[in-house]
C-alpha cells in the first residue's frame, strides 16, 4: 500500500513537471499558435507518425477508431458537464460537485470488483450510488449537527476518496488488476473509451440535455428562488434531487475520460468562464456547454499528440486556458477592457483639467484674448513646459484646441471652449451647492468639486441649477459660466467682463 | 371582534382561515394555536417583536413549513389546492441578487405557477409582466441585470413578480424593510389599489408608527395571537404592551405612537 501510494505521488509529481509544458501547448493551440518544439518534446511513447502535424492530420481525418471514440466521448462529457455545471455555479454549489466527484471512487472500485472486469454498467451503478451516498452523508451531517456545509463537504470528499484509494490499490494487487485500467479512472484516458462506454455516455448526455431543455423554466426558478417556486406549486425538492442525480450521472460518465480527481473542474470552469462573458442565464447555459465541448475536444487532441499523457489534466488545462483568455479579454468584465476604460477615463480627466486651466488663464485676462501660451499653461498647472506641450497636443488631437503657428500657444476650438465652460460650471455649481445645501465652509469645497466636476451628468447639472435657483456666482465670488457662454463657441469678440450667469 | 361580518360569509368566500395552527422548529414551538379568519378586501398588518413568528406564520399559512397541528384554508379549501390564488413577496435577502437574470426574467417567474409544468411563458405572459413592471415604475429597467438595482428597486421587482401572479390573497414579508421613502409610498399606494380591487393582503411589518396609517386591520402576534381586528380597535397601548412585553425601547415607541394617535 505504502509503495503504491509513493508511486502515485511520484506520478503526480511527474505530471506536475509535465504541466508547464502542457500549459504552453494548450495555450498555443487555443490561439491556433502551436509551439512546434514544445509539442515535439512532449511527444513520447508509441507514436507511429514522426511529426506533430502528422499526428494532427491523423486526428483530424478521424480514420483511427480510437480517435473517433475519444472525440465523441469528449464532446458528450463536455456537453453534459457544461450544462449541469452552469446550474452548480449559479447556485453556489461548486464544492458539491467536487465532493460528489471524489465520493464516486469507492463505487468505481466496487464496480470493478463486481465481476473483476471493466464492465461499464457495473461501474456506472456502483459509482452513481457511491456519489449519491456521499451527498446524502453531507446533508445528514449538516441537518443533524451544527457543522457547516463547507466543512461537511471537505470531510466527505476526503473520506470517500481515501476509501476509494485504498480499494483501488487493493484491486491493483489482484492478478487481473494491472491490465484492468483502473488507474485511468483517476486521471482519465479518453483513448481507453470503448463503444459500450460511449453508449452509456450518449444516453446520459441525451437525458441531461433533454431534461435541461424541457424543464429549463423549472430548474431556473428552483435555482433562483426555491421558496417562491414552492408557492408556484413546483415540487422544488424533487427538482433538486433530479439535478443531483443528473449530476452524479454526468460525473460518472466523465470519469473514464477526465478522471475522478479533475472531473469537478469540467463542471465548474466552463460555467465560470461563461459567467464572465454573459449575465443572462439563457445565454450562459449554452455558452457553458459550448466551452465544455471545446475543452473536451482540445484535451482529446492534445492527449493524442503526446499519446502517453492523461486526457483529464489536458482537458482541464484547455478549460482553464479558456477561462484565462476570458479573464483577460472578456469584452466588458475582462481586466484588459476594465484597464482600458480606466485609462481612457483618466486621460479624459487630464484633458478636462487642461481645458479648465486654459479657461482660468483666459478668465484672469478678462477674456481680452483667446490665445494661451504654453508657458502660461505650464505656470498655471505647475508643470514643466515639456509636459504642458504634451497636454496641449492631447487637446489638439481631440479637436479641442488648435496650436499656434509658433507651436508655443493654444486656442480653444468651439468644442473645447464648450467643454471648458462645462467643467468650470460643474466645479463652481458643486462648490456652491456644498456651501449652501450642506453648509460646508467655502474653503473646504474645492477638492471635492475637483473630483465631481468630471462626473456630473447633464441631468444632475440641471437639477443643481434648479436647486441653486440659477445662481450666477460661486462661493468665492467668481462668475459661473452660463448657457450663453457655452453657446458662444469660438466667437472672437471679447467677452464682456460683467456678463455671467443665467437668465438671458 | 370581526366575527359578525364574517359569519354571513360562506366558507369559500373567506380568503384565509387559520385554525389552531401550531408550528415548531426542532420541537421548540414558535407558533401556538393560531386562529385567524381574514375577511375579503382587507389590508392586514402583522406586527410583533423579533422572534414572534411573523414570517413563520405567513410561510406556514402558504404551506411552506411543516406544521405540528391545525389547518389553513384559502377560500374554503386546503391551501395546497389553492396555490394559484396565492401571491408571495419574500424577504429581499432570500435570493442571490448576483444571479444572472434580468428584471424581466424575474417578473416572468410570477407567471410560472399559472403556466404549469414545462410550459414556457408566451407573448401574453410578457405583456402581463410588462404591465406589472409599469405599475411599480420599473419598466425602464426591464432588461437590466438584477445585480445593478438598489434595495428599493429590488423590492419593486419582487412586488411586480407578485402582481404577475394575479392572485387573490397576497402574503408579503417585510416589503418596507430597507427601502427608500419614494419606494415605500409607491408600495403602499399599490397595496391600497389592490385592496380596493377586492384582494386580501397580509403584510409582515416592523415599524409601529406607520402601521397605524397603512393597514385596515392588524394582527398582533407574539407566538400567539394577542389581538386581531380593525386597526383603530387594536392599536391601543394595552394591546401593544401585551404584544411587545417588557421591551423598554419599543414600549416608549409604542407610547409615542399612541400619543400621536390621540
B86, B101, B106: residue with CB nearest A231: B86
Q: Is residue B122 within 8 angstroms of chain A, CB to CB?
A: no
Do A233 and B113 make contact, defined as CB atoms within 8 angstroms?
yes
Report how far residue A496's alpha carbon sits from residue A487's, in angstroms, rounded to the nearest whole number.
15
Give the CATH number, domain containing residue B105: 3.40.50.300
How many domains are contained in chain A? 2
A284 and A392, same domain (yes or no): no
Residue A7: pLDDT band (50, 70, 90) is: low
Q: Which of A302, A329, A356 is the last residue of a domain?
A: A329
Residue A493 placed within a domain: no
CA A151 to chain CA centroid, nearest Å: 27
Dump pLDDT digits (tens) for B81-93: 999 999 999 999 9
Give kind and range of the element (H or E) at residue A66: helix A65-90
Query: Residue B197 CB: number of other CB atoms within 10 A?
Result: 9
Dihedral sign (CA B185, B187, B191, B196): positive
Are the C-beta atoms of residues A108 and A260 closer than 8 Å to each other?
Answer: yes
Task: List chain B residues with CB under 8 Å of A242.
Answer: none
If you write DSSP's letter for every residue of A95-117 in order, what string do you get? HHHHHHHHHTHHHHHHHHHHHTS
Question: What is the per-residue pLDDT for A206?
Answer: 96
Dump pLDDT digits (tens) for A422-435: 899 889 888 888 88
Q: Is residue B101 within 8 angstroms of chain A, CB to CB?
A: yes
Dump pLDDT digits (tens) for A215-238: 999 999 999 999 999 999 999 999
Percent of the residues in chain B that have a pLDDT greater than 70, as a whole number = 91
Task: List chain A residues with CB under 8 Å of B147.
Answer: 279
Residue B126: pLDDT band (50, 70, 90) is: very high
Task: List chain A residues with CB under 8 Å of B121.
Answer: 217
Residue A373 placed within a domain: yes
Read off the pLDDT of each residue in B146-174 and give the average, rounded to a whole number: 93
B147 SS3 class: helix
Q: Give the chain A residue whose CA is nearest to the CA of B147.
A: A279
Do B83 and A233 make contact, defined as CB atoms within 8 angstroms?
yes
Read off the pLDDT of each residue in A128-152 and give the average, rounded to a whole number: 92
Q: Which of A289, A307, A329 is the last residue of a domain?
A: A329
Domain that holds residue B181: 3-261
A206 and A257, same domain (yes or no): yes
Are the C-beta atoms of residues A116 and A174 closer than 8 Å to each other?
Answer: yes
Residue A400 placed within a domain: yes
Better-scored residue on pLDDT, A440 or A15: A440
Q: B200 pairs with which residues across the strands? A: B169
Are the C-beta atoms of residues A49 and A55 closer than 8 Å to each other?
Answer: yes
Residue A121 placed within a domain: no
Report how far residue A337's alpha carbon sits from residue B109's, in angstroms, rounded to the nearest whole number.
33
Dump pLDDT digits (tens) for A310-320: 888 899 999 99
B residues 135-164 lying closer than 8 A (beta carbon) to A: 145, 147, 161
A435 and A322, same domain (yes or no): no
Residue A36: pLDDT band (50, 70, 90) is: very low
Q: Give the chain B residue whose CA is nearest to the CA of A214.
A: B118
Q: Is residue A214 within 8 angstroms of chain B, CB to CB?
A: yes
Give the CATH number, domain containing residue A424: 1.10.10.10
A210 and A289, same domain (yes or no): yes
Residue A365: pLDDT band (50, 70, 90) is: confident
Cα–Cα nearest to B234, from B42, B16, B58, B44: B44
A315 and A397, same domain (yes or no): no
Question: What is the per-residue pLDDT for A191?
Answer: 78
Read off the pLDDT of each residue in A43-68 and give the average, rounded to a whole number: 68
Read off the pLDDT of each residue in A137-156 and give the average, rounded to a whole number: 92
Task: List chain A residues with CB under 8 Å of B84.
Answer: 233
A217, A231, A280: residue with CB nearest B100: A280
The overall average pLDDT reported for chain B is: 88
Residue B242: pLDDT band (50, 70, 90) is: confident
Read off the pLDDT of each residue in A476-490 and give the average, rounded to a whole number: 69
Most confident of A108-117, A289-298, B239-248, B249-258: A289-298
How many domains are contained in chain B? 1
B102, B113, B121: residue with CB nearest A232: B113
Residue B204: C-alpha distances to residues A284, B50, B180, B225, B243 (Å): 36, 11, 18, 14, 15
Residue A297 placed within a domain: yes
B83, B88, B118: residue with CB nearest A215: B118
Q: Give the chain B residue whose CA is nearest to the CA of A144.
A: B26
Q: Give the chain A residue whose CA is nearest to the CA of B118.
A: A215
Are the C-beta atoms of residues A419 and A352 closer than 8 Å to each other?
Answer: yes
Task: List chain B residues with CB under 8 Å of A216.
Answer: 120
Cα–Cα nearest to A70, from A197, A224, A234, A231: A197
Question: What is the per-residue pLDDT for A503?
Answer: 31
Residue A215 placed within a domain: yes
Report how far residue B82's alpha carbon sits from residue B73's, in angstroms, rounded to the nearest whole number.
9
Question: What is the per-residue pLDDT for A13?
Answer: 52
Dump pLDDT digits (tens) for A242-272: 999 999 999 999 988 888 888 999 999 999 9
Domain that holds residue A29: 2-93+187-329
Helix axes A335-364, A311-329, angle to 10 degrees: 10
Dump pLDDT digits (tens) for A369-381: 888 888 888 888 8
B residues 22-41 lying closer than 8 A (beta carbon) to A: none
Model ipTM? 0.90
What is the length of chain A? Answer: 504
Percent of the residues in chain A that have a pLDDT greater than 90, as a whole number = 37
Phi and psi at residue B218, in whole multiples of 5°? -125, 140
Cα–Cα nearest to A429, from A394, A469, A400: A469
Q: Give the chain B residue whose CA is nearest to the CA of A143.
A: B26
Give yes or no for residue B259 having a pLDDT over 90.
no
Question: What is the per-residue pLDDT for A492?
Answer: 40
A450 and A393, same domain (yes or no): yes
Report how far residue A138's alpha carbon sits from residue A150's, in angstroms, rounded to the nearest whole number.
9
Most confident of A17-21, A119-123, A303-307, B104-108: B104-108
Report how far residue A322's alpha carbon sits from residue A304's, in angstroms, rounded to the nearest whole number.
20
Give yes or no for residue A48 having a pLDDT over 70.
no
Percent of the residues in chain B that have a pLDDT greater than 90, as a whole number = 62
Query: Residue A209 CB: number of other CB atoms within 10 A?
Result: 15
Residue B1: pLDDT band (50, 70, 90) is: very low
Cα–Cα nearest to A106, from A157, A164, A156, A155: A164
Amino acid at each position: 500500500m505504502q509503495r503504491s501510494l509513493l508511486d502515485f505521488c511520484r506520478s503526480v509529481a511527474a505530471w506536475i513537471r509535465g504541466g508547464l509544458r502542457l500549459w504552453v501547448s494548450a495555450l498555443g493551440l487555443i490561439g491556433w499558435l502551436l509551439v512546434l518544439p514544445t509539442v515535439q518534446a512532449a511527444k513520447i511513447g508509441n507514436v507511429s507518425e514522426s511529426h506533430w502535424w502528422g499526428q494532427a492530420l491523423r486526428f483530424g481525418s478521424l480514420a483511427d477508431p480510437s480517435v473517433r471514440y475519444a472525440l465523441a466521448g469528449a464532446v458528450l462529457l463536455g456537453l453534459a458537464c457544461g450544462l449541469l455545471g452552469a446550474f452548480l455555479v449559479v447556485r453556489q454549489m461548486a464544492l458539491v460537485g467536487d465532493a460528489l466527484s471524489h465520493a464516486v471512487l469507492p463505487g468505481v472500485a466496487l464496480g470493478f470488483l463486481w465481476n473483476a472486469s471493466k464492465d461499464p454498467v457495473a461501474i456506472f451503478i456502483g459509482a452513481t450510488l457511491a456519489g449519491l451516498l456521499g451527498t446524502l452523508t453531507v446533508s445528514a451531517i449538516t441537518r443533524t449537527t451544527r457543522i457547516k456545509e463547507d466543512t461537511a463537504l471537505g470531510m466527505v470528499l476526503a473520506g470517500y476518496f481515501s476509501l476509494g484509494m485504498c480499494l483501488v490499490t487493493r484491486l491493483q494487487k489482484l492478478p487481473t488488476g494491472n491490465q484492468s485500467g483502473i488507474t485511468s479512472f483517476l486521471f482519465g484516458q479518453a483513448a481507453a473509451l470503448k463503444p459500450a462506454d460511449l453508449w452509456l455516455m450518449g444516453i446520459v448526455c441525451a437525458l441531461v440535455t433533454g431534461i435541461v431543455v424541457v424543464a429549463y423554466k423549472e430548474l431556473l426558478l428552483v435555482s433562483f428562488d426555491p421558496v417562491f417556486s414552492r408557492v408556484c406549486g413546483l415540487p422544488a425538492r424533487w427538482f433538486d434531487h433530479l439535478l443531483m442525480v443528473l449530476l452524479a450521472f454526468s460525473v460518472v460518465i466523465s470519469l473514464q475520460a477526465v478522471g475522478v480527481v479533475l472531473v469537478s473542474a469540467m463542471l465548474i470552469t466552463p460555467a465560470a468562464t461563461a459567467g464572465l462573458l454573459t449575465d443572462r442565464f439563457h445565454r450562459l447555459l449554452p455558452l457553458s456547454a459550448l466551452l465544455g465541448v471545446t475543452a473536451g475536444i482540445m484535451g482529446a487532441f492534445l492527449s493524442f499528440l503526446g499519446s502517453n499523457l492523461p486526457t483529464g489534466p489536458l482537458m482541464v488545462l484547455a478549460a482553464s486556458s479558456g477561462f484565462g483568455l476570458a479573464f483577460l479579454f472578456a469584452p466588458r468584465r475582462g481586466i484588459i477592457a476594465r484597464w482600458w476604460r480606466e485609462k481612457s477615463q483618466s486621460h479624459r480627466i487630464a484633458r478636462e483639467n487642461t481645458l479648465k486651466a486654459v479657461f482660468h488663464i483666459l478668465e484672469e485676462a478678462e477674456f481680452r484674448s483667446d490665445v494661451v501660451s504654453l508657458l502660461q499653461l505650464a505656470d498655471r498647472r505647475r508643470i514643466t513646459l515639456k509636459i504642458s506641450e504634451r497636454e496641449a497636443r492631447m487637446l489638439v488631437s481631440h479637436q479641442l484646441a488648435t496650436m499656434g503657428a509658433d507651436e508655443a500657444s493654444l486656442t480653444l476650438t468651439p468644442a473645447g471652449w464648450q467643454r471648458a465652460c462645462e467643467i468650470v460650471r460643474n466645479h463652481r455649481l458643486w462648490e456652491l451647492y456644498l456651501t449652501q445645501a450642506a453648509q460646508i465652509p467655502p474653503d473646504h469645497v474645492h477638492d471635492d468639486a475637483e473630483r465631481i466636476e468630471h462626473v456630473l451628468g447633464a441631468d444632475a447639472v440641471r437639477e443643481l441649477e434648479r436647486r441653486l435657483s440659477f445662481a450666477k456666482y460661486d462661493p468665492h465670488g467668481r462668475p459661473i459660466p452660463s448657457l450663453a457662454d457655452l453657446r458662444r463657441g469660438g466667437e472672437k469678440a471679447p467677452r464682456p467682463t460683467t456678463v455671467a450667469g443665467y437668465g438671458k | 371582534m370581526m366575527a359578525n361580518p364574517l359569519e354571513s360569509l360562506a366558507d369559500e368566500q373567506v380568503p384565509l382561515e387559520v385554525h389552531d395552527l401550531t408550528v415548531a422548529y426542532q420541537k421548540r414551538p414558535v407558533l401556538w394555536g393560531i386562529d385567524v379568519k381574514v375577511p375579503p378586501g382587507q389590508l392586514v398588518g402583522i406586527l410583533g417583536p423579533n422572534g414572534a413568528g411573523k414570517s413563520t406564520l405567513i410561510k406556514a399559512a402558504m404551506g411552506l413549513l411543516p406544521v405540528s397541528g391545525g389547518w389553513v384554508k384559502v377560500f374554503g379549501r386546503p391551501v395546497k389546492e389553492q396555490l394559484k390564488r396565492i401571491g408571495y413577496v419574500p424577504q429581499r435577502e432570500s435570493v442571490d441578487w448576483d444571479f444572472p437574470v434580468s428584471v424581466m426574467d424575474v417578473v416572468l417567474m410570477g407567471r410560472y405557477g399559472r403556466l404549469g409544468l414545462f410550459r414556457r411563458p408566451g407573448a401574453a405572459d410578457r405583456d402581463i409582466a410588462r404591465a406589472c413592471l409599469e405599475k411599480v415604475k420599473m419598466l425602464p429597467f426591464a432588461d437590466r441585470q438584477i445585480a445593478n438595482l438598489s434595495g428599493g428597486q429590488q423590492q419593486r421587482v419582487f412586488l411586480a413578480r407578485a402582481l404577475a401572479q394575479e392572485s387573490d390573497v397576497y402574503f408579503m414579508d417585510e416589503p418596507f424593510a430597507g427601502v427608500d421613502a419614494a419606494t415605500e409610498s409607491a408600495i403602499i399606494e399599490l397595496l391600497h389599489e389592490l385592496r380596493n380591487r377586492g384582494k386580501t393582503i397580509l403584510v409582515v411589518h416592523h415599524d409601529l408608527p406607520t402601521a397605524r396609517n397603512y393597514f385596515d386591520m392588524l394582527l398582533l402576534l407574539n407566538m400567539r395571537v394577542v389581538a386581531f381586528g380593525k386597526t383603530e380597535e387594536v392599536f391601543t397601548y394595552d394591546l401593544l404592551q401585551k404584544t411587545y412585553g417588557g421591551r423598554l425601547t419599543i414600549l416608549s415607541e409604542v407610547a409615542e405612537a399612541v400619543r400621536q394617535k390621540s
